[in-house]
Structure 1
């Protein structure tokens, strides 16, 4: 055994009841870091066997001592700066920054820093990492955390420090969607129609409904502050374009739906009566109900 290990090691050899060999290292130094292989040779039924195993000597990563986020409030497509400092132990330590989306318990890895700034007195490594992240509207309400790990953690997340404040991402409304009830494009006069405007934004947008009749160029505001517009007993003059506009401090956006209105459908009046001639039936249809009484006679013989 090399001079590095003199007076610092103790070996517990295998016995008849156990094939385990234990090497105890005392007063660890930086040069002790690494992978140790153990060979155990033994005989059974006059045959020679060899058993091997690997052990790693490393320094544990500790929980990050600082994690900063700036700013906490920003607009969509702006950048967020995240700074983390941690003793990542040794060897092969790193810092990882994770995002936890709103209403989710799953951590999403967004950044890894492997570069060591310097080694501490106990041979472990200290990392200062800064990362800029461009936010989207999906990041509104998200939390971020920084973790510190090395080979001892393998593929698992190491000790972490979480941001204490949820990020607020402001964004303007996208193109609203309009839901019609009942869901059809043409209505008969006298029907009721409900229009619902759906829009997502932060802060929530104000909804305005306006009406543009066919063959007109000027809109008329019919409702403000309500996402639902109810039209009762619609008539022919209510046909046209209904426009939903959503706006907040970021921007505004709109969408429109066309509503066609037609006269109510009257049922045909039909009269069937018997004739005295030739055992025939005469069927008479009112051709123009509500107007002149003109009839078409159909003679069906049998």
Structure 2
């Protein structure tokens, strides 16, 4: 097939040499046993046929047809096949006879090629002679292809310098002219496109004159969408899935990272999903999804805010150690909690609340203040009691946490 053929409205690629299929005096010769064509274009499949002319039955009448369904005894003529309605024609030349040999030519033309047209096409002719007719087996295999853009980097020292190549699964006959589209507008000609590919631009290629049959667009990944399921409040021990998606062609590769400190991060998972089967409070933090293709990369961020009851509740005093009678001491309580905890102060064996708030200040301290003190941290999810802080009177006051008298922590979490 040459460029003159392309100019008539089709692009086809012959993949093998002509082959003769015959039996004695009856034969069919296809121009090729395999034909590859662009989907959406038009293709011609050609053959010649020969038969023995019995002079007793002159003039001989010949009926020809092409088929993909049925068999040689009950073929379904493509002209009456509903899958090809309005898209096929069978053009045959005049039969020429020399002595007892006759031969003719036929061409099957298929327009607006569809993927479903990929099939084996056979030609059959019949005559009014006693020998009947003949089918050329095994026929012609038609394959459909699309143009594709291959991406490569010819200069390893400059990853922004990109080479785009327009190609199909089979070579185009006659080396027809290619044309490139940049953001939908016609640009350079040639099978290759080389240059710096800016973010936000897209490219495709086509055979000039067949722009409607252009390749799929290639473009750098767009800013990915990151989601968390379930959304909203996340409680410790629950299952959480982070998902990442991006519009990109060529297809993107996904990698999840967690920000550790400052500019540093750790690689957690390859793939569009990051799953925590039983999430821990230590999993709180900022995550980002990196999307990479041959053209470029993009990323987006998401933060996991864990909700959990108070834990690691502790108390301290200021001043610590020995203090003088009549002076003041401030007890402070702290706890790890989200949302932030509120605090209540208690003295052992006393039911009444001594103070509310993170700090509890005792002024003008006397022997009456001797005893064990503790704080309770609480939020909407649960509460947690600190260990005891012991204030001991012996001329001067000592503040410490005696191991033998420490309060056993209690905690309640509403999951």
Query: TM-score, normalised to structure 1's length?
Result: 0.52
* 8 Å contact from structure 1 (residues 211, 242) kept in 2: yes
Quick check: 1:82 aligned with 2:242? yes
Q: Which residue of 2 aligns with 1:260?
A: 392
2:312 matched residue in structure 1: 175
Residue from 96, 108, 112 that aligns with 2:266: 108
**Match for residue 28 of structure 1 among 154, 160, 166:** 166
* Equivalent of 2:257 in 98, 112, 115: 98
Unaligned runs of at least 5 residues, structure 1: 4-23, 32-58, 114-128, 213-217, 266-302
Distance 1:161 1:26 in 2: 27
Q: 1:192 aligns with which of 297, 315, 328?
A: 328
Q: Deviations over 1:151-194 (max 9, x none)?
A: 677xxxx312334xx4321111113221211111x544323211
Q: How far apart, CA to CA, are the structure 2 residues paired with 1:97 and 1:175?
A: 30
What are the Cα deviations for residues 229-258 of structure 1, in whole angstroms up to 9, with x where unaligned?
111121112111011111112221112111
Residue 314 (structure 2) pairs with residue 146 (structure 1): no
1:60-80 CA deviation, whole Å, 9 max, x = no partner? 752355332222321123222
Q: How does 1:1-302 map to 2 (within 5 A)?
A: 27-29=165-167, 62-63=221-222, 65-70=224-229, 71-86=231-246, 94-100=253-259, 104-113=262-271, 129-133=272-276, 134-140=278-284, 142-150=285-293, 158-163=297-302, 166-184=303-321, 186-212=322-348, 218-255=349-386, 256-263=388-395
Q: Distance in 2 between matches of 1:105 and 1:223?
A: 46
Matched residue pairs, number? Answer: 188
Change (3 A) 1:80 1:179: same
Deviations 1:116-174 (A, max 9, x none): xxxxxxxxxxxxx333125433444x343322225677xxxx312334xx432111111
SS of 2:309's partner is coil
Matches of 2:168 and 2:246, distance apart in 1: 19
1:250-297 CA distances to partner (integer Å, 9 max, x unpaired)? 2211121111012369xxxxxxxxxxxxxxxxxxxxxxxxxxxxxxxx
**Structure 2: which 5+ residue stretches go unaligned?**
1-14, 16-161, 170-217, 398-415
Tell me the SS of whatever aligns to 1:191. Answer: coil
Distance of aligned partners of 1:239 and 1:159 in 2 relative to their CA distance in 1, 3 Å threshold: same
Q: Which has the higher contact order (CA 8 A, sep 6+)?
A: 1
Find the residue that maps to 1:237 and give its secondary structure. helix
Residues 222 and 68 of structure 1: is their aligned pair in 2 closer, same or farther, counting only changes over 3 Å? Answer: closer
SS in structure 2 at match of 1:171: strand
Q: Is the 8 A contact 2:237 2:280 kept in 1?
A: yes
**What is the alpha-carbon root mean square deviation over aligned residues?**
3.5
